[in-house]
A and B are shown apart, each in its own frame.
Chain A
Amino acid sequence: DTGVSQNPRHKITKRGQNVTFRCDPISEHNRLYWYRQTLGQGPEFLTYFQNEAQLEKSRLLSDRFSAERPKGSFSTLEIQRTEQGDSAMYLCASSGSLVSNTEAFFGQGTRLTVV
């Protein structure tokens, strides 16, 4: 297992277009997280899956954002009608139970630029 994989690494899109990102977590991890990070800031939580169930969504996740994790494996994050304010690094992480003293493993991120 090579860790958490995210595709694409970079995406440039025109305002108003839809984009979809993919995350392949570490196979034995049942927890998957999406974060967004803007320049100079720490990662901000967007949403969380335990297996295929989406259990929590941040209020940062407007109705233009949707995430899925079919069959509890890979996950996709879609942004519809992109806006310039959506430009950011989108990070995916997977883990076992964090409160059981395990760490999260992050992918390299997808950098979105909306022009």
Chain B
Amino acid sequence: SQQGEEDPQALSIQEGENATMNCSYKTSINNLQWYRQNSGRGLVHLILIRSNEREKHSGRLRVTLDTSKKSSSLLITASRAADTASYFCATPLIQGAQKLVFGQGTRLTINP
């Protein structure tokens, strides 16, 4: 079953604009992680936000976490063509294998 669900499924914006992607999850978490995947490639870790954090920044990335709503958002500011990729949120299950459970992702296209 899906733990994380991203919204929107696809987003197309002009270069220079900001892109916001949202993620909802179902169960209690220790942290939430965002990954990027370029077409046909592996996933690259972007940022991890802990359950006791509300906001985190890394370069042009800003992640928020609202544990009361079980939701997170990823904001990419001043987008570039190289930001074109799929973005996934993932949460490690606390029990058992601690495996990351991914949503379907948001396909982001930056138009020059």
Contacts and interface: CB of A to CB of B under 8 A. Distances in A.
Contacts of B14: none
Contacts of B96: 55-56
A45 B97 CA distance: 10
A101 B50 contact: yes
A21 interface: no
B43 interface: yes
A111 B40 contact: yes
Contacts of A93: 43, 100
Contacts of B41: 108-109
B35 to A, nearest CB: 8
Interface stretch (B57-65, B76-84, B102-110): B102-110
B98 A98 contact: yes
A19 B44 CA distance: 26
A47 to B, nearest CB: 9
Interface in A40-82: 40-45, 48, 50, 55-56
Q: Interface range on chain B: under 10, 10 to 19, 20 to 34, or 35 or more? A: 20 to 34
B99 interface: yes
A18 B40 CA distance: 23
A91 interface: yes
A108 B42 contact: yes
A114 interface: no
B98 A31 contact: yes
Interface string B18-47: 000000000000110101000011111100
Interface of B: 2, 4, 30-31, 33, 35, 40-45, 48, 50, 88, 92, 94, 96-105, 107
8 contacts: A31-B98, A33-B100, A41-B104, A42-B102, A42-B104, A98-B98, A106-B35, A106-B43
